[in-house]
Structure 1
Amino acid sequence: MAVLKQEQKINLTTKKQHPRLRSMKDFYRKLKRNKAALVGGYLILFLTIVSLIGPYFLSNGINDVDYTARLQPPSAEYWLGTDQHGRDIFSRIIYGGQITLIVGFLSVALGGIVGVAIGIASGYYGGKIDTVIMRLMDILLAFPGILLALAIVSILGPDIVNVIYAVAIYSIPSFARIARGSTLSVKKLEYIDAVRGIGAGDFRILVRHVLPNVISPLIVQATLSIATAILTASGLSFLGLGAQPPSPEWGAMLNDGRGYMHDAGHIALFPGLAIVIAVLAFNLFGDGIRDALDPKSK
């Protein structure tokens, strides 16, 4: 209890001095000035709501086959047309949004948790631990992300769960390096020495004082990584290594429609547009968050 009270006093005296301790009000004010970020945020909110509650209002199921209506163009009955099996593309895209968002958020969450823990520990303790960890991260970064994910899925087997693991693994180095770099600057501050001087242990310092002050660049990285994760997962499904038929994952739908580009281009067009919109939304929002959290911006 005594340590907690002393920490509170130290935090109050150093809060105005540390450039990373910014008010939420200032953050929202800067974010609202960025029109592109607002568009991205609204698109993310729209995609999330539609993916979560949209399936409850659909009259056509994702695997309702009707060969009498196959390859139908967009119409009043089938808003986005039908595929080669007569399935409603609109319904499948709505359902596929759930899969896409789950893959994006879960893979980045797993990679972020592991990467941040490794990066903070590496930057805080330094020495041989830092050297070994960073060399391992350099090895992972030497591989292009999509190729590393492709190799991992090839080993684990084609499945959407394995895609999540693959994307999470190749996301670890980025989070680790950002967390390490921020930790190296934070641990040199005087208030960290003061907290350590009153008896706080390493774990308490890392969780209560280091992590909150390195979270800003990690939030930006997480938002941008979700866009990369969606694109990677769709690419693996397009290659047949991700979600398997008859799953309505957008990349798998794109793969189904590539053989009908000339006769029924809408089969590949609409899943492709869904991927573009989702990736664009997270990139725009991530850029806006980065600008809003930048201490140099006014």
Structure 2
Amino acid sequence: MIEQTDKNSFMQNSPSNPRLESWKTFFKKLRKNRAATVGGILILLFIIIALIGPFFVPYDGTEQNHMNKLSAPSAEHWFGTDHHGRDIFSRIIHGMSITLFIGFSSVAIGTVVGVFLGLISGYYGKRIDAVIMRTMDVLLAFPGILLALAIVSVLGGSLTNVIIAVGIFAIPSFARIVRGSTLAVKKLEYIDAVKALGASDGRIIFKHILPNVLSPIIVQSSLYMASAILTASGLSFLGMGAQPPTPEWGAMLSAGRSYMFDAPHVALFPGLAIVIVVLAFNIFGDGLRDALDPKMKN
């Protein structure tokens, strides 16, 4: 009996896993933010629709029916048809996978390159820091949409070039955020201890500094998804991104502006799709920021 009591007492007083406790605290804070929960559910729903939705849509997104042009929303065509008689609902579902692919791909480019440059700049400092940060300042001197527009103008209009342009636009933001976090982390005592043990610079940077600067990277990635989708849609709206008949939302919105008075649904539903997706990523990113910020209290 005494042994069992001592065992229970030991289990209650034994220290828990700090990493597990931190994740529990993170999810607890995230669940308390209702807006972030709604945003996360919407994002998960969008991803599922993008993956399996094109297999269940009632019509082909590129199939034309000139006998049924500019039809209003009905039971047969939920969102109506466009100026070529194509089902708008089917095109929006097909376009969701394109939009999310552009967003995730461009954010991946900006994150990988920006994080690497920020780590190198913050860790080594001096001339390396000066060269990298002045280059980032030059990129930041241009408004985001103008920088992306200039890059696409040079490379040519296509989805691949849009992804590259939006990814390059994201690099300075990630680089500056990671550099600031790296400067703070490398001054901690355990970094000096690891150096004294003879660890290489690469091991210190990627094993000891990078895990401690992941929080701002995650938050910035989720928030930048909205900007990436909005910028890509803007480029397609200007005719610099996806080319017809690709069912990209920005291109659909551009085509629908000619029928704003005769058939407003042609532009209304692609515009609403862009707004809802961008809003979902924004409110989810805000929730992540609150949950990962150590200054935020319960």
* TM-score, normalising length: structure 1: 0.93
Q: 2:119 touches 2:205 (CA, 8 Å); kept in 1?
A: yes
CA distance in 2, matches of 1:162, 1:78: 33
**Higher-Rg member (1/2):** 2
Identity of aligned residues (%): 67
Q: Secondary structure at the match of 1:98?
A: helix
1:175-254 alignment runs, 5 A limit: 175-254=174-253
Match of 1:113 in 2: 112
C-alpha spacing 1:200/1:215, structure 2 compared with 1 (3 Å)? same
AA in 2 matched with 1:219: I
**Residue deviations 1:231-271, cap 9 Å, x none?**
00000000000000000000000011000000000000000
CA distance in 1, matches of 2:194, 2:182: 16
CA distance in 2, matches of 1:138, 1:101: 28
**Residue deviations 1:23-76, cap 9 Å, x none?**
111100000000010111011011111111111112210111111111001100
Q: Secondary structure at the match of 1:188?
A: coil
Q: 1:141 touches 1:173 (CA, 8 Å); kept in 2?
A: yes
What's the offset of the Cα at 1:278?
A: 0.5
CA distance in 1, matches of 2:80, 2:184: 55
Aligned alpha-carbon RMSD (Å): 1.3
Q: 1:186 touches 1:213 (CA, 8 Å); kept in 2?
A: yes
AA in 2 matched with 1:271: P
Match of 1:286 in 2: 285
Q: 1:21 touches 1:213 (CA, 8 Å); kept in 2?
A: no
What's the offset of the Cα at 1:199?
A: 1.4
CA distance in 2, matches of 1:63, 1:117: 41
Q: 2:157 touches 2:240 (CA, 8 Å); kept in 1?
A: yes
CA distance in 1, matches of 2:157, 2:255: 16
What's the offset of the Cα at 1:296?
A: 1.1
Q: 1:70 touches 1:84 (CA, 8 Å); kept in 2?
A: yes
Q: Which runs of 5+ in 1 are unaligned?
A: 1-14
Match of 2:173 in 1: 174
How many equivalent residue pairs?
A: 281
AA in 2 matched with 1:115: G
**Residue deviations 1:203-239, cap 9 Å, x none?**
0011110000001001100001110000000000000
Q: 1:31 touches 1:289 (CA, 8 Å); kept in 2?
A: yes
Q: Secondary structure at the match of 2:80?
A: coil
Q: Secondary structure at the match of 2:75?
A: coil
Q: 2:57 touches 2:93 (CA, 8 Å); kept in 1?
A: no
* TM-score, normalising length: structure 2: 0.93
1:1-298 alignment runs, 5 A limit: 23-298=22-297
Q: Which runs of 5+ in 2 are unaligned?
A: 1-16
